[in-house]
Amino acid sequence: MPFDHNDHYHRLLLRQLPPGARRALDVGCGTGTFARRLARRGVDVDAVDRDAGVITAARGVAGTGRPGLPGPPGLPGRVNFRQADVAALSLPPGTYDYISCLASLHHLPLDTLRTLRDALAPGGVLVVLGCYREASAWDRVVSLAAVPVNAVCRVGVFVRERSVGRAVSRASVSEASVSPPSAPTMAPAGSFAEVRAYAAEHLPGHRMRRLLFWRYLLVHRTPSGPR
């Protein structure tokens, strides 16, 4: 019964997209679902992941390398999928109007936040949908509260997908049965408090809050004027 916690928050992340954004960086893009959603908004996206398997799958879904699956309809924005470790890249400063980092910061040095901050254009927005280690009583309370809600959502997704599955054609069912590889997972080492303390020092004016499904949202906006 699939229920993707990261996909669940895509709409929340898209609400942080600044008006007129033209260029974005998606860190830890996986198979590219969120990058394509940005492209549907007319944004050109550099989508980066260090895992070769998911990048190959992402290019295939986009119609640029995986046989057997057609590409999606033409998107207003361009998506450039790249296999790379963003922590080892030299990102040009002041470049991106929007940078997203979905469930990938805990795979990277925390100092990567400063690199991403510096890559933002004036008025740009950095959004991190992060995972954190449970370290406090409140962390555990939020985690326990998520368990029954998660179960209900999983059942809802299962029922919806079964209903859709009955309605689609045999060809569509065959296409949907080709499963992309799963992105590598890792238990987060940093706690919510540790990430918040780092952000307070290096991302002045940021906002950070816990989300229900074992995630947090961190939003940092650069000033609109010259840096």
Residue 167 or 224, more confident: 224
Residue 97, amino acid = D
Return the pLDDT at 168.
42
pTM above 0.85, yes or no: no
Return the pLDDT at 197.
97
Q: What is the pLDDT of residues 141-192, one digit of tens each?
A: 988 887 877 787 777 776 666 666 544 434 333 334 445 666 667 788 899 9
Task: Report whether pLDDT(75) > 90.
Answer: no
Query: pLDDT tier at 226 (50, 70, 90 boundaries)?
Result: low
Q: What is the pLDDT of residues 89-99, one digit of tens each?
A: 999 999 999 99
Return the pLDDT at 63.
58
Tell me if 214 sits within 8 A of 104, measured CB to CB: no
Q: DSSP letter at 190?
A: S
Pairing relation of β-strands 96-102 and 79-83? unpaired
Return the pLDDT at 159.
66
Tell me if 120 sits within 8 A of 96, measured CB to CB: yes
Q: What is the pLDDT of residues 33-65, one digit of tens each?
A: 999 999 999 999 999 999 999 999 999 886 544
Residue 111, amino acid = D
Task: Report whether pLDDT(32) > 90.
Answer: yes
Return the pLDDT at 143.
85
- The correct answer on CATH 1.10.630.10 for the domain covering 5-135+181-221 is no
